Amino acid sequence: MNPATALATVLVDELVRCGLTDVVLAPGSRSAPLALALCAEERIRLHVRIDERSAAYLALGLAKTSGRPVAVVCTSGSAVANLHPAVIEAGEARVPLILLTADRPPELRDTGANQTIDQVKLFGSTVRWYGETGVPENRPGQVAYWRSLACRVWRRSLAPDPGPVHLNVPFREPLVPDGDTTWCEPLDGAAGHPRVRGGAPSPHTAVRVPPGMRGVLVIGEGATGVPRYVAAAEAAGWPVLSEPHGCGRYGDHAVSTYHHLLGVPEFADRAQPDVVVVLGRPGLSRPLLSWLARAAEHIVVDPDLARWPDPTRTATQVAQSVEIPAVPGPADWLDHWRSADLAARTAVDRVLDRADEITEPRLARDLVELLPGDSLLTVGPSMPIRDLDQVMRPRRGPRILANRGASGIDGVVSTAVGAALAHDGPAYALLGDLTLLHDQNGLIIGPNEPRPDLCLVVVNNDGGGIFSLLPQAALTGPFERVFGTPHGVDLAAVAAATRTPYTLLTSLTELPKAILGEGIRIVEAQTDRTRNAEIHTLIRDAATRAVRDLMSI
């Protein structure tokens, strides 16, 4: 057996023993040993994509949904660099990815050899760990080294700080099996077990909140232990402020209009808590962050105590866990939040329901309410997730994801496809037109690949809608060209190019029927950027008036 085939066979086998179930492969020549080993491995689900960037985001979606490391494999050269955007997102969102990059052997580096670049530590500090196998050789001791290295790759992607890891794998030719199956030592390992077993967990660091406090639970991106903390907050009489993808916006204590409430200075002043417990990484609402910065006690929960989120730089404690005693604080504390939330919610819904026009906030609100309880919704990280944050009513059931680690619009289609493939149930996505166009390659799924049950609801306002809500909108001269960026693309033609079923939504009454179906499909909703900015102003003003009227009673 040639060394390249031996290394690839052992590496794949050991990663499977560790628990690897999904691998995404982008085709190439230098990665042939890994590709062939993966193709022959029946214990994994292999996904093949022609574009490395799309492949990496597909792996990201699979890993975010499953909570398990997913490997992405590519060939040498610029192919590796195309993984970088997804690696950045995985690093910020703490998603375990294993990057297996094939490389030329050292003697071909810095020689002008074809498809050869410097891949050593290419991703810098973005990855949690970097390693290189070295060029495989037919000599005793190699198998133990390879298996130990694979276990290290697996463990470092998970603990102590989950995220992407990079193993560079240089191969010399021959790159394909030569028919010889002999090797200087046995290639197999201990049946069913990784070479390196897991050790004991680290000591548990907990903080106990004093009983009877006026507390608030805030939940953002990447939060863990959400049901337990929501139940504890309810027992303590705390309001729960959860971003949609924090997956804690449910139950009687959920305050769904916190963005509008905290934008009213009078309310924000009266709603100052004794303590705020923060799960995950909130970052959608500026009023929330401004209010959070004023909290007297601001406890951040980070199970790994490694990369705790604190964008306001006001955290007073960081803990692996927090104990919230089931002793309610002042009786009027929760009532104050609830009554204001009801007033703002009624005002917001009244604006949205005023006419049967397709507006972006109403589309977001109505879509999430239509979804089955066992569904998954991937939301674009720019305007769609903000719309959902500002108008979504509390509800149980659907799991909501968004690439808000680095908040880029790139790779969202591929992420949604990967998430759908890892989800046991129907999947949906809500994204903007630029987000779709940025990752059209995510729609390219070969005939032999697993296909997701995924409905992509695309808001098409012919450009970058978020800029119409920012100060740049006042720059009427250059605005359209350098911020609005109209594209004029026919999304029906984009869908047709990949034979993706397509529906144009002409009325919100058609939405329940439009999202029905199987397989990957697109529903387009055409909106206007200027009108969208007007709707957002109407929503904000209506909510503000309602809260101020309530406080004046």
Q: Which tens digits make up the pLDDT trace of 164-201? A: 999 999 999 999 998 888 999 999 877 777 877 654 33
pLDDT confidence of residue 199: 45
DSSP 3-state assignment of 92?
Answer: helix
Q: What is the pTM of this model?
A: 0.93
pLDDT confidence of residue 197: 64
Measured CA to CA, the distance from residue 308 to residue 279 in angstroms comes to 10
Instruction: For 394-453, give the secondary structure using H, E and C.
Output: CCCCCEEEECCCCCCCCCHHHHHHHHHHHCCCCEEEEEEHHHHHHCHHHHCCCCCCCCCC
pLDDT confidence of residue 203: 45
DSSP class of residue 482?
A: I
Pure H helices in 159-292: 226-235, 258-261, 265-270, 286-292
Do 258 and 541 form a contact (C-beta atoms < 8 A)? no
Do 49 and 26 form a contact (C-beta atoms < 8 A)? yes
Q: Give the H or E element holding residue 73.
A: strand 70-74
Q: Which tens digits make up the pLDDT trace of 43-65? A: 999 999 999 999 999 999 999 99
Superfamily classification of domain 206-345: TPP-binding domain (3.40.50.1220)
Encode the chain (553 residues) as per-residue pLDDT tens digits: 999 999 999 999 999 999 999 999 999 999 999 999 999 999 999 999 999 999 999 999 999 999 999 999 999 999 999 999 999 999 999 999 999 999 999 999 989 999 999 999 999 999 999 999 999 999 999 999 999 999 999 999 998 899 999 999 999 999 999 888 899 999 987 777 787 765 433 445 789 999 999 999 999 999 999 999 999 999 999 999 999 999 999 999 999 999 999 999 999 999 999 999 999 999 999 999 999 999 999 999 998 877 788 988 889 999 999 999 999 989 899 999 999 999 999 999 999 999 789 999 999 999 999 999 999 999 999 999 999 999 999 999 999 999 999 999 999 999 999 999 999 999 999 999 999 999 999 999 999 999 999 999 999 999 998 888 888 888 888 888 888 999 999 999 999 999 999 999 999 999 999 999 999 999 999 999 999 999 999 999 999 999 999 998 7
Q: How far is CA 82 from CA 88, 99, 190, 516, in A?
A: 11, 12, 36, 34
The architecture in CATH of the region 360-526 reads 3-Layer(aba) Sandwich (3.40)
Count of all residues that appear for the chain in the document: 553
pLDDT confidence of residue 198: 55
Measured CA to CA, the distance from residue 240 to residue 234 in angstroms comes to 8
pLDDT confidence of residue 544: 98
Question: Quick one: angle between helices 331-352 and 383-391, nearest 10?
Answer: 120
| Assigned fold of 3-170 | Rossmann fold (3.40.50)
Measured CA to CA, the distance from residue 193 to residue 292 in angstroms comes to 46
Do 132 and 104 form a contact (C-beta atoms < 8 A)? no
Do 213 and 221 form a contact (C-beta atoms < 8 A)? no
For the chain, give every domain's residue range.
3-170, 206-345, 360-526
Question: Quick one: angle between helices 32-40 and 3-18, nearest 10?
Answer: 50
Distant-in-sequence, close-in-space partners of 307: CB < 8 Å, separation ≥ 6: 94, 161
Measured CA to CA, the distance from residue 280 to residue 317 in angstroms comes to 14
- 206-345 shares its CATH topology with 360-526: yes
Q: How many CB atoms lie within 10 A of CB 259?
A: 23
Per the DSSP assignment, residues forming a β-bridge with 299 are 277, 317
